[in-house]
Amino acid sequence: MRLDGGGGVAAAARYPRPVGDAAALRGAAADQRTAAGRCSDAAGQCRSSAGSVGAVWSGDASAQALVSLNGFAALLDEVVAGTTTAAGALEAYAAALETMQGVADRLEAEHTTLLSRYRSTLAQTYPDEAEALDASWQAQATYADGVADLDQQYATAARTFDDAALACLRSLESTLPSFIRGHNESLDDWVEGMLTEWATRVPVLRDHMGLVRGAVWASRTALPAALIAAVTKSISLGKFLNNPVASPLRGVGLLGSFVDSQIGQRLPQYTQFLNGELGRFSQLVMGTDRTANLASIAANEGLGAAARTSGLLRGAGILGGVAATGMSAANVIAQGNPVDAFRENGAAYVADVAEVGFNASLTAAMIAPNPVTVGAVVVTGVVYAGAEVVANWDEITEFAGDAVDLAGRGYRAAAEAVDHVADTATDLARDAVSFLNPFD
Amino acid sequence: MTEFQVDAAALRAEAPGVAALSGPLDAAQTAVAGAGSVAGVAGHELVAEGLQAYAAWWTQAISGLSSSAGVIADQLTATADDYAAADDRVRGLLADTAGPLAAQPSSGGADYARRLGGPL
């Protein structure tokens, strides 16, 4: 008896080799080294010229000229550093590319051998059907085991190759200025990079970079949520204070009138706070444009109406939640394909995704507080908090000194300041409208 | 009074050396641009993207530096010319109106200016 010789097996390459030209990449790397050498020579020539100019020209104008010439040489040094880094990155990646291509070729050849043996076994003639069937099973098992091993080898090699490509990308990006956003770089990291870069240009801050980096880290991780809530609460509270007649509490009878009167009595205090420390603080940290954008996000989503109709402070909370969800979602979307983003950013990406879920569930809970939505907040909040700690563990341990302590004190102060004003009104409003919600 | 000394001829002689920096910078710019051209054979989209970003930025940056070398050289030449012209004007002025002063040995326009009591 003779079996079919495996005609159903695909003829296409099972282990495709990456289409790349390692020699061309090495050539490009050599070109970068040549460029680095030329620029290094130019920098030396420039410094030599500066020395000569200084010898034949003195005075204030000469000093300025020497600053220009030496600054020009320093910029050439930057080119040298950048092109040298790129050359090294390309050489390392070219080697990885060749390795991957070699692995793919070897695995493809081994697979061809396996397939050939399999087909050869099936092509043999057997004395009876039982023996043929047994031979078929054994051949299939041998082939499957062999392919599984080859698949594993290919997957491992592919991961190594992907890591090499990512390392090359990161090295190339490291030569670029911080204002050029990196591949799948999160908005948080991009903004942090620019802030740190900016801080290094300010003489006073440059001498205290530990403090600056700690503050930037704190503003990136802890402060935004508090500030978004604070600012959005302030916006809604400010709207109400500017137009008390439109108070959403007007419609809830005597209790609403009482709350209005309580808030009215404290109006000068609130106004002073909103126009004073909080306004300056939020604008300083978040910027006027971003503060305004948060409000427009909510308005565009049509949730301004929800804010007006579902109670003053709950509405403010929804605004904050929507804004926070929007910012979190934008941060995740900016990182591109989730698989690639996780590979590149690891725990930080998990934290960003969890942040979206946390903010979204928090928003849902504020719109419709019930056991389901509140439970979702608890679950997503725990995931978010855990992921955030993991993602920032290095920074937490690195800046666990005075900088974090200062940042933490600043955060607590901000939170207490917000609580002092906004939560007083929150409690009053919650009492006034609590009967509207059976779960409140 | 601002104190200064300048040898205009020597300063002018430095300008060509600075201008010549454009040569190696232009070559470097070509090399960096070449990195972008191999993006198509990178074999991985991440590397291709990195090469394009790298080449785009550094080509632009080195081009700016190359142009700057010419600008600096022109500034040095113009400065030397200005000093030389001022020196000639002061020398002529002193020759016409201050015979005793003009008869004294001079080390250049800056020296005349200092003797006149103010900057050029």
Judgement on whether residues A210 and A165 belong to the same structural domain of the protein: no
Provide mean pLDDT across the span B35-51: 94
B4: nearest CB among A21, A22, A61: A61
Confidence at residue B26, expressed as pLDDT on a 0 to 100 scale = 93
Judgement on whether residues A172 and A208 belong to the same structural domain of the protein: no
Q: How many residues does chain B have?
A: 120
Confidence at residue B67, expressed as pLDDT on a 0 to 100 scale = 86
Helix (H) / strand (E) element for A351: namely helix A347-367
Judgement on whether residues A296 and A417 belong to the same structural domain of the protein: yes
Confidence at residue A93, expressed as pLDDT on a 0 to 100 scale = 97
Judgement on whether residues A157 and A112 belong to the same structural domain of the protein: yes
| Touching B: A residues 19-58, CB under 8 Å | 19-22, 24-25, 27-28, 31-32, 34-36, 38-39, 41-42, 45-46, 48-49, 52-53, 55-58
Judgement on whether residues A115 and A237 belong to the same structural domain of the protein: no
CB A403 within 8 Å of CB A199: no
Q: What is the pLDDT along chain A (440 residues), one digit of tens a residue?
A: 444 444 444 457 899 999 999 999 999 999 999 999 999 999 999 999 999 988 988 877 788 788 888 888 888 998 999 999 999 999 999 999 999 999 999 999 999 999 999 999 888 888 888 888 888 889 999 999 999 999 999 999 999 999 999 999 999 998 887 666 666 666 556 666 665 665 565 555 556 555 555 555 554 544 444 444 444 444 444 454 445 444 444 444 444 444 445 445 545 554 454 444 444 444 443 334 333 333 333 334 333 333 332 333 233 344 444 444 444 555 555 555 555 655 566 556 555 655 555 555 555 544 444 444 444 444 444 455 445 544 554 544 443 344 334 334 433 443 444 344 344 434 433 433 333 333 33
The CA distance from B46 to B50, in Å, is 6
Confidence at residue A339, expressed as pLDDT on a 0 to 100 scale = 53
CB A40 within 8 Å of CB A66: no
Q: How far is B59 from chain A (nearest CA, A)?
A: 10
Using a 10 angstrom Cβ sphere, with 0-12 exposed, 13-18 middle and 19 or more buried, the burial of residue A6 is middle
Q: Look at residue A15 and tell me if it is in a domain.
A: no
B53: nearest CB among A36, A57, A176: A176
ipTM field: 0.78
Judgement on whether residues A382 and A270 belong to the same structural domain of the protein: yes
Across the interface, do A60 and B2 touch by the CB < 8 Å criterion?
yes
Judgement on whether residues A137 and A253 belong to the same structural domain of the protein: no
Provide mean pLDDT across the span B38-60: 93
Better-scored residue on pLDDT, A6 or B7: B7
**Domains held by chain A: number:** 2
DSSP class of A271: H
Tell me the C-alpha to C-alpha distance, in Å, between residue A76 and each of A165, A212, B24, B69, B108: 28, 28, 11, 11, 35
Residue B39 at interface with chain A, using a CB cutoff of 8 Å: no
pLDDT band at B104 (very low <50, low <70, confident <90, very high): low
Judgement on whether residues A91 and A227 belong to the same structural domain of the protein: no
Judgement on whether residues A133 and A74 belong to the same structural domain of the protein: yes
Better-scored residue on pLDDT, A333 or B81: B81
B34: nearest CB among A31, A52, A61: A31
Residue B24 at interface with chain A, using a CB cutoff of 8 Å: yes
Instruction: Kindly list the residues from chain A whose CB atom is less than 8 angstroms away from the CB atom of residue B7.
Output: 56-57
DSSP class of A420: I
Judgement on whether residues A430 and A285 belong to the same structural domain of the protein: yes
Signed CA dihedral, A50, A51, A53, A59: sign only: positive
Confidence at residue B3, expressed as pLDDT on a 0 to 100 scale = 62
Domain boundary among A159, A176, A193: A176
B47: nearest CB among A36, A49, A168: A168
User: For residue B42, is pLDDT > 70?
Assistant: yes
Question: Rounded to 10 degrees, what is the CA torsion of A131, A137, A141, A143?
Answer: 80
Confidence at residue A354, expressed as pLDDT on a 0 to 100 scale = 55
Token pair, residue A263, equals 């808030």
Across the interface, do A173 and B57 touch by the CB < 8 Å criterion?
no
Q: How far is A286 from chain B (nearest CA, A)?
A: 29
Give the closest residue to A235 by CA, choosing from A292, A160, A178, A302.
Answer: A292
Question: In chain B, whose CA is at the least distance from the CA of A46?
Answer: B18
Across the interface, do A19 and B49 touch by the CB < 8 Å criterion?
no
Token pair, residue A71, equals 């600054």
DSSP class of A208: T
Judgement on whether residues A155 and A210 belong to the same structural domain of the protein: no
Helix (H) / strand (E) element for A244: namely none
User: With DSSP H G I counted as helix, E B as strand and the rest as coil, what are the percentages for chain B, rounded to 5?
Assistant: 80, 0, 15
Size of interface A-B (CB pairs under 8 A): 165
Residue B3 at interface with chain A, using a CB cutoff of 8 Å: yes
Confidence at residue B7, expressed as pLDDT on a 0 to 100 scale = 86
Across the interface, do B35 and A19 touch by the CB < 8 Å criterion?
no
Residue B52 at interface with chain A, using a CB cutoff of 8 Å: no
Residue B81 at interface with chain A, using a CB cutoff of 8 Å: no
Residue B21 at interface with chain A, using a CB cutoff of 8 Å: yes
Q: Which amino acid is at A61?
A: A
Judgement on whether residues A114 and A53 belong to the same structural domain of the protein: yes
Alpha helices in A201-346 (DSSP H): 203-206, 209-221, 223-242, 254-265, 267-275, 277-286, 288-300, 303-309, 312-333, 338-345
Confidence at residue A105, expressed as pLDDT on a 0 to 100 scale = 96
Give the structural domain span for A123: 22-176
Q: How far is A53 from chain B (nearest CA, A)?
A: 6
Across the interface, do B2 and A93 touch by the CB < 8 Å criterion?
no
Residue B44 at interface with chain A, using a CB cutoff of 8 Å: yes
Instruction: Kindly list the residues from chain A whose CB atom is less than 8 angstroms away from the CB atom of residue B25.
Output: 38-39, 42, 76
Question: In chain A, whose CA is at the least distance from the CA of B57?
Answer: A176
Confidence at residue A190, expressed as pLDDT on a 0 to 100 scale = 61
Q: Which amino acid is at A139?
A: A
Tell me the C-alpha to C-alpha distance, in Å, between residue A69 and each of A210, A224, A329, A391, B109: 32, 43, 47, 44, 25
Instruction: Kindly list the residues from chain A whose CB atom is less than 8 angstroms away from the CB atom of residue B35.
Output: 28, 31-32, 86, 90
Better-scored residue on pLDDT, A412 or B30: B30
Give the closest residue to A184 by CA, choosing from A196, A197, A166, A198.
Answer: A166
Domain boundary among A176, A196, A221: A176
Residue A368 at interface with chain B, using a CB cutoff of 8 Å: no
Q: Look at residue A227 and tell me if it is in a domain.
A: yes
Instruction: Kindly list the residues from chain A whose CB atom is less than 8 angstroms away from the CB atom of residue B3.
Output: 58-59
The CA distance from A401 to A152, in Å, is 45
